[in-house]
Structure 1
Amino acid sequence: MRILDKYILKKYLGSFIFTLFILIPIAIAIDVSEKIDKFLRHTNLSVGEIIEDYYVNFIIYYANTFMPLALFISVIFFTSKLSNNTEIIAINSASISFTRFLKPYLIGASIVTFYALYMNHFVVPNSNEILTKFDKKYLSGKKNVKENYVKEFSMRLGEGRYIYIQNFGIRTNRGYHFSYEEYDGLKMKYRLTANEITWSKRDSTFTLTNYTKRKLFNDKDSIEVGKKFDTVFDFSPKDLLYVDYLSKEMNSIELKEFIERSKLRGVKNLNAHYVELYKRTTLPVSSYILTLLAVCLSFRKKRGGMGVNMAIGIGLMFIYVFFMKVAEVLGAVAGSRTVLLVWMPNIVFGSLAFYLYLKSKK
């Protein structure tokens, strides 16, 4: 690696980290001003717990969120500075092509991308889970009923096996009017019903109260009635919830398994979970696109200086973020082509970056 490459790479990573360290304290200051009264309401909540359980994970989450903005602004800033200091003119005078000039930028983008991929797929979901628990315990004024209660729920457990629960309390692990059925094609061969079903977290078993077992044969039926019956099913109360925030708390391996299990159980619309899975890759990959776009916009010295480049860059960045959020919302709609929609901002801005690269190369 040449001295020039090391110089640019050092500027690239240094400016990126510096910009990120400017944005994060601003986010913390705003958040503290909004939540200070809620922290003070809990006398048993220490400063150490607030920092360790909340703000450490807050920093991880928002560093990941601000990554594209910080990267884009930092590349425009230091490349414009190189241009204004006529350093790029000296580089061109040394017969270094624009493509060769981009090499340290792409190395820096690769470092940021691989780091962000690891964070997005494995670290950030764990931080989201801790933040959610802290929010429920100390910050949220009301409990969301949908998170604690399931009504008229049916699910496919496997080939020809179905359950139905009229209502189930997630916090109490108790439900009412339960039914389990097995089919051979269209013909029912077994049915189990109970007035009450209770799940034991200790041994993952279900206790059925006032149950009725019915086995159907060709010429007769077998019926068994009883007070209590312990059994095992291949689901847990958590599987009854399909709220969107759960996908943000699973690492990518767990999320893929959850999606496959949900598909087998007949869940119709899993697009919100696919959006969460795909954007964990699209956001880090945008590092290459935003880096190339930022360099193409700022490597030439312009009348008006660095301010013009920053204004154009920030404007494009907000368009990208807006486009990305719209794509996520549309991708979560049932029947939409989620992969295409989630990748669309990168495709559009990648095409723009490639066009500017060809133009700048000349």
Structure 2
Amino acid sequence: MTTFDRHIMRRLLQGFLFLIGALIIFFIVLHYVESIDDFMDRGATMRDVFLVYYVNYIPEIVRLTSPLALFLSCVYLTGKLAQQLQLAALQTSGVSLYRILLPYAFVAIGVTGFMFWFNGYVVPRTNQVVLDFEMKYLKDAPRQLDLNDIHRQNRPGSIVAVGYYDRVTQRAYRVSLEHFEEGKRLVSRIDAHEMAWIDSLGVWRLSEPILRTFTPDGREIRRRLARLDTTLMLRPRDFARTERDVASMTIPVASDYVEHLRRSGAGNMGRTLVEYYSKFSYPFANLILILIGVPLAAVRRRGGQAVRMGLGLLTAFSYLAVQKLVEPFGYAGDLDPVLAAWLPHVVFF
């Protein structure tokens, strides 16, 4: 590695970190101005807002803005080298553009690898704090996906039906637990007006349940209890999914969660799957935008840096816009979730 390579890598990282810091401040100020009324109306203290909410919100901002920050740093640095004829001098001496791209690629690969780990294991933990805070203090909290008429498969041959689920109190109402023999004949059924999650015991408690057993000859045996504690394969989060559940899960936990939802027969999984696959695809935006940025800024143009930065911003926002335009098709099920997560990266690559 030459002195020039180290110089490029150092300058690129310095610009990247500076832009990340600037974007963090910009996002926090903008969000605070937009949300200050909600904070005040719902009694959030300044300490909680800035030392709990925004401190934990910073990793999410870093995740979202890292491709843009790295791309703009690349365009600015490369454009400055081109304007000062340093790139032209290197190419005249026989150094190809691909060789010049090498230190950029090292930085891009390093940032991509770091962001994959950061996005998969650090951001979810802080996002959980952010999600809890938003549910308590913000009107625009993540929307709950399932409210009424929820059906889940507890295990093969066992179905849980819930009329309404309250995420805050972790209580389900108008509950029915049905067990089928060989997937066809109804063997037993438990009906209860209310079912509450008992966290200390890890069980669901049914209030005044009616136990009904159906014999092969068609008879029905009924039994009423004051209460019944039962263990299910389902947990509170399985009944109260929100738009951002996966965002608050590490990759291994999210993988288990998605698999569990599939087994339980949950519907409306488009958003969940797109968010899950985006954990793998989004970090690659750092690498792809660098590969776009160097050739874009290496050519001298009239207007100098202003034109380069303008083209850079247009390219970056086009890239991110395509991503946001494709995602709703994945949410609605009109596009395969894997394709919705990866398509923008494949197109621009």
Is the Cα contact below 8 Å between 2:146 and 2:241 reproduced in 1?
Answer: no
What's the % identity of the aligned pairs? Answer: 27
Equivalent position amino acid for 2:237 in 1: K
Equivalent position amino acid for 1:345 in 2: P
Provide the residue aligned with 1:225 in structure 2.
223
Q: CA deviation at 1:221?
A: 4.2
Equivalent position amino acid for 2:326 in 1: A
Say how many residue pairs are matched.
347
- Partner Cα separation in structure 2 for residue 143 and residue 345 of structure 1: 27
Provide the residue aligned with 2:203 in structure 1.
205
CA distance 1:345–1:170, shift in 2 (3 Å): closer
Q: Deviations over 1:67-121 (max 9, x none)?
A: 1211111111010101111111221233222211111110000111011111211
SS in 2 for 1:178: strand
Q: CA deviation at 1:255?
A: 1.3
Provide the residue aligned with 1:257 in structure 2.
256
- Partner Cα separation in structure 1 for residue 320 and residue 63 of structure 2: 13
Q: CA deviation at 1:290?
A: 0.7
Equivalent position amino acid for 1:291 in 2: I
- Partner Cα separation in structure 2 for residue 147 and residue 330 of structure 1: 19
Provide the residue aligned with 1:282 in structure 2.
281
Provide the residue aligned with 1:360 in structure 2.
none
Is the Cα contact below 8 Å between 1:164 and 1:179 reproduced in 2?
Answer: yes
Provide the residue aligned with 1:2 in structure 2.
2
Equivalent position amino acid for 1:114 in 2: G
Q: CA deviation at 1:220?
A: 6.1
RMSD across aligned C-alpha pairs, in angstroms? 2.4
SS in 1 for 2:209: strand
Provide the residue aligned with 1:168 in structure 2.
165
Is the Cα contact below 8 Å between 1:214 and 1:221 reproduced in 2?
Answer: no
SS in 1 for 2:123: helix
Q: CA deviation at 1:156?
A: 1.1
- Partner Cα separation in structure 1 for residue 92 and residue 110 of structure 2: 29
Is the Cα contact below 8 Å between 1:148 and 1:169 reproduced in 2?
Answer: no
Provide the residue aligned with 1:339 in structure 2.
338
- Partner Cα separation in structure 1 for residue 59 and residue 333 of structure 2: 31
What pairs up with 1:186-197 in 2 under 5 angstroms?
186-197=184-195
Equivalent position amino acid for 2:175 in 1: F
CA distance 1:92–1:169, shift in 2 (3 Å): closer
Q: CA deviation at 1:181?
A: 1.4
**TM-score, with length taken from structure 1:** 0.87
Provide the residue aligned with 2:111 in structure 1.
112
Is the Cα contact below 8 Å between 1:282 and 1:342 reproduced in 2?
Answer: yes
Of the structure 1 ranges 155-164 and 220-229, higher mean CA displacement relative to structure 2 is found in 220-229
Q: CA deviation at 1:322?
A: 0.9
Provide the residue aligned with 2:101 in structure 1.
102
Q: Deviations over 1:113-169 (max 9, x none)?
A: 01111121122222222122222333x25888x749832222111211111122333
1:22 aligns with 2:22: yes
1:326 aligns with 2:325: yes
Equivalent position amino acid for 1:261 in 2: H
Q: CA deviation at 1:314?
A: 1.0
Equivalent position amino acid for 2:134 in 1: D
- Partner Cα separation in structure 2 for residue 194 and residue 308 of structure 1: 67
CA distance 1:104–1:203, shift in 2 (3 Å): same
1:90 aligns with 2:77: no
**TM-score, with length taken from structure 2:** 0.90
SS in 1 for 2:120: helix
- Partner Cα separation in structure 1 for residue 40 and residue 216 of structure 2: 69
Q: Deviations over 1:282-339 (max 9, x none)?
A: 2211222111111101112222222221111111111111111011111111252121
Q: CA deviation at 1:61?
A: 1.5
- Partner Cα separation in structure 1 for residue 109 and residue 69 of structure 2: 16
Equivalent position amino acid for 2:155 in 1: G
Provide the residue aligned with 1:357 in structure 2.
none
